[in-house]
Amino acid sequence: MSLGMPREASGRVVVRALSGASLAVGATALVIAAVMVLLRNINSPYDVWLAMLFLVPIAALMVLRHLQDTLFAGLAYLVIAAISIGFYASILISNAPEAIVESPFILALPQIAVIYTVAPRLLGVQSLVLMAGAYLLGQAAVYAAALESGRFPAFDVLTAAAAVVVLAICATDLLVRRHTAADHRAVVRARRDADAMHYQQELESQVVALFHDTVLSELTVLANQPPGPLGEPQRAAIRRDLALIAEGAWWPDESAATAADARTDALPPELGAVVAQSRGEGFAVDVSGDIASLHRLTPAVGSALALALRQALVNSRQHSGVDRAEIVVDGEADAVVVMIADAGRGFDPAAVPPDRLGVSQSIRGRIRDAGGQAQLWASPGYGTTYMLTLPVAPEHAWEPR
């Protein structure tokens, strides 16, 4: 489709162009027939004026057919046109010299007019049938007139050629459109399969991230615990994770979170629960900046941020060697930027084995799937900083000053 034109619109343009060309050819053929009958009356002693009268119904039906694109109108056009062609041919054959009878050009013109105009839209099998019917009925009408007068013209090559041309055009258009429709269906199927594969990959990514955040994280905590009964915070965390897996929810109910200070209460519920859980596990979290901008996120993006933030705080608590992290929030025109930093021992991101999923799936993968970006700055001895940039809901975007 050229110039980005939709497939349906492009098809309609092609059909209109072909139909307009066929109407022009048919009308031209009818006008030439009328002129030749007129010249025959002027230049010969044979009176064939009456033949012109039988061109009038064909001309009238030609116009009507392009206004009434129905099968009934097409059949009526065929029948009336065939009768008119029969009388037209009978008058010419009976009242013309032998030389004219031997030259069928004047007899061919009304037939060509009907063949090219009986189907106002060169579209589909019905058009093929109507045009083929126009040729056969026109030829039958001429030969009936010849049989009645006993004078037979030569074989009408012109009408046969005209019929072959228009039928070939219509058949080619039909085949091309069917092939194009088949290609379009194949593209739709391929796009649907690609969307399904993408959805499956996203789902697998979320499942892997969820598994890492729950089962693997709790196993890591248990491995670092001294022998003996678990404390209540650890028990509560395990119960929450089990409920998360069993119920298929992305985050436990906010009522499960412990109480937080006034700044935590200002956070959206899911983010507040993350900070509260980290503090309940003995890891201090300072939150500052434009906290109100977090409420501009959609629920889905907010959930992704909460899960990524939880994993970043778990990483800091388990690997940084410090007991404190800082969260800074900054609101932009169409995005919210969240930084999570600790001043711990840091690490070399390039040295992390590919099978470690905490950063790649639980943080970067989640933020990417939510339409955002995740950046990581870390080096041994200099702490770790994550910068998460997430899009706000469209209705909460504003023009920058």
Q: What is the mean pLDDT of the chain?
A: 76
Last residue of one domain, picked from the residues 187, 204, 219: 187
Q: Considering the domain boundaries, does residue 250 fall inside one?
A: no
Q: Considering the domain boundaries, does residue 52 fall inside one?
A: yes
C-alpha 191/C-alpha 180 separation (Å) is 16
Q: What is the per-residue pLDDT for 160?
A: 79
Q: What is the per-residue pLDDT for 389?
A: 92
Flag whether pLDDT at 298 surpasses 60: yes
> Beta 384-391 vs 324-331: how paired, if at all?
unpaired
What is the per-residue DSSP string for 83-95?
Answer: HHHHHHHHHHHHH
Residues 122 and 33 in one domain: yes
Q: For the domain that residue 293 is a member of, what is the CATH number?
A: 3.30.565.10
Confidence of residue 400 (pLDDT cuts 50, 70, 90): low
Q: Is the torsion defined by CA of 170, 171, 176, 179 positive or negative?
A: positive
**Strand, coil or helix: 252:** coil
pLDDT tens track for 202-249: 656 665 666 655 555 655 656 566 676 766 666 666 666 666 655 554
Judge whether 50 and 106 are in contact, CB under 8 Å: no
pLDDT tens track for 323-355: 999 998 988 888 999 999 898 888 888 777 766
Q: What is the per-residue pLDDT for 207?
A: 58
Flag whether pLDDT at 302 surpasses 70: yes
Q: Scanning the structure block, which residue is given the tokens 């298929």?
A: 248
Last residue of one domain, picked from the residues 137, 168, 187: 187
Residues 183 and 264 in one domain: no
Residues 383 and 275 in one domain: yes
pLDDT tens track for 168-180: 777 776 777 676 6
Q: Where is pLDDT greater, at 198 or 126?
A: 126
pLDDT tens track for 39-98: 877 766 667 788 888 989 998 888 888 788 788 888 888 899 899 988 988 888 887 666
3-state DSSP helix/strand/coil percent for the chain, to nearest 5? 70, 10, 20
**Strand, coil or helix: 227:** coil
Of the segments 193-207, 262-276, 335-349, which one has the largest average pLDDT value? Answer: 335-349
Query: Taking residues 144-155, what's their average pLDDT?
Result: 79
Q: What is the per-residue pLDDT for 253?
A: 42
Residue 247, token pair as written in the block: 């119920």
Q: Where is pLDDT greater, at 256 or 246?
A: 246
Residues 167 and 266 in one domain: no
Q: What is the per-residue pLDDT for 285?
A: 92
Q: What is the per-residue pLDDT for 95?
A: 77
Q: Considering the domain boundaries, does residue 154 fall inside one?
A: yes
Flag whether pLDDT at 304 surpasses 60: yes
Residues 18 and 143 in one domain: yes
Residues 172 and 288 in one domain: no
Q: Considering the domain boundaries, does residue 208 fall inside one?
A: no
Confidence of residue 264 (pLDDT cuts 50, 70, 90): very low
pLDDT tens track for 372-395: 998 888 888 888 888 899 999 888
Residues 180 and 281 in one domain: no
Q: Considering the domain boundaries, does residue 233 fall inside one?
A: no
Q: What is the per-residue pLDDT for 358?
A: 63
**Strand, coil or helix: 285:** strand
Last residue of one domain, picked from the residues 187, 212, 227: 187
Q: Nearest to residue 119, comparing CAs of 33, 31, 18?
A: 18
Count: domains in the chain = 2
Residues 289 and 368 in one domain: yes
Residues 259 and 359 in one domain: yes
Q: Structural domain of residue 338, as residue ranges?
A: 255-396
Residues 173 and 305 in one domain: no
Q: Nearest to residue 205, comparing CAs of 304, 347, 318, 352?
A: 304
Flag whether pLDDT at 201 surpasses 70: no
Judge whether 339 and 386 are in contact, CB under 8 Å: yes
Q: Considering the domain boundaries, does residue 76 fall inside one?
A: yes
C-alpha 36/C-alpha 11 separation (Å) is 38
What pairs with residue 375 in β-bridges?
Answer: 387
Residues 173 and 78 in one domain: yes
User: What global pTM score does this model have?
Assistant: 0.41
Q: What is the per-residue pLDDT for 195?
A: 63
Q: What is the per-residue pLDDT for 261?
A: 40
Q: What is the per-residue pLDDT for 317?
A: 87
Q: How many CB atoms lie within 10 A of CB 359?
A: 21
Flag whether pLDDT at 188 surpasses 60: yes
Judge whether 186 and 194 are in contact, CB under 8 Å: no
Confidence of residue 13 (pLDDT cuts 50, 70, 90): low
Lowest mean pLDDT among 31-35, 45-49, 309-313, 326-330: 45-49
Q: Considering the domain boundaries, does residue 47 fall inside one?
A: yes
Confidence of residue 254 (pLDDT cuts 50, 70, 90): very low
C-alpha 61/C-alpha 72 separation (Å) is 13
Residues 180 and 263 in one domain: no
C-alpha 268/C-alpha 289 separation (Å) is 14
Q: Considering the domain boundaries, does residue 245 fall inside one?
A: no
Q: Residue 324: which H helix or E strand, with range? A: strand 324-331
Spell out the alpha helix ranges (H) of 212-298: 217-224, 232-247, 262-265, 269-280
